[in-house]
Amino acid sequence: MASQSDHKAAIIDGKAIAQTIRNEIAEEVRHLSQKYGKVPGLAVVIVGNRKDSQSYVSMKRKACAEVGILSLDIDLHEDVSQVDLIAKVHELNANPDVHGILVQLPLPKHINEEKVLSEISIDKDVDGFHPLNIGKLAMKGREPIFLPCTPKARQLSYVFKSNTDRCRRTHIYGAVRGFHVAFSGFVL
C-alpha cells in the first residue's frame, strides 16, 4: 500500500493543456468542414449589457473563431419581452446552421429563466440546462445529451493529460457536475 509520502503533487500547465484541447477541436472542425461542407454553429443569446456577461460572451465568441466554429451573435435589449426572447429561441431551434444554443444568464428579472431554458431544443442545449437533460444527468445509468459548461470529457482530458488523479471542483456548476461524477464513479 502506498504511503502518504508516495503521493506527490503535480503542477499542471493549464494554458498548455487548454491550447492542446483547442488544437484538437480545431482539427475536428476542419475534418467536419471537409467531410460535410459545414462547420458547427453556436448561437449565443445575450440580453442586456451587463459587463460581466458581455465579457464572458466575448470570450466564447473568440474561442469559436479560434477553432473555426460559426458563432451567431444574438444581442437583445434589456427590455426585450419574454415572448420575443422565446420566439428568438424557437427561431434558433429551427435553424439548421445552429447546432448549439447558449442563453447567457442571468436574464433580466422580468424574464423567467426556467421557461426560456426549457424552450431550447434539448438537442441544441449545449449548456445542459434543459429540464430533461438535468434529469438524465441526475439519474444513474442515464447519459445526458449535453453536460453543463464543465463537461466530463474535457474535465477528464485535464486529468489524463496532466497525469494527476484529482481535479478540483469549479465554483459555478459543481453541484450539477457532482451529480454526474457521483454516478460515473469519478472523484473530484
Is 104 annotated in the active site? yes
Rounded Cα distance between 89 and 120, Å, is 6
Rounded Cα distance between 84 and 90, Å, is 10
Rounded Cα distance between 122 and 1, Å, is 46
Q: Which of 104, 124, 136, 155 is catalytic?
A: 104
Q: Which of 88, 124, 125, 127 is catalytic?
A: 127
* Structural contact between residues 78 and 48, judged by C-beta atoms closer than 8 angstroms: yes
Is 60 annotated in the active site? yes
Residue among 166, 169, 130 at smallest CA distance from 148? 130
With the C-alpha atoms ordered 155, 26, 146, 83, is the resulting torsion angle positive or negative?
A: positive
Q: Which residues are catalytic?
A: 60, 104, 127
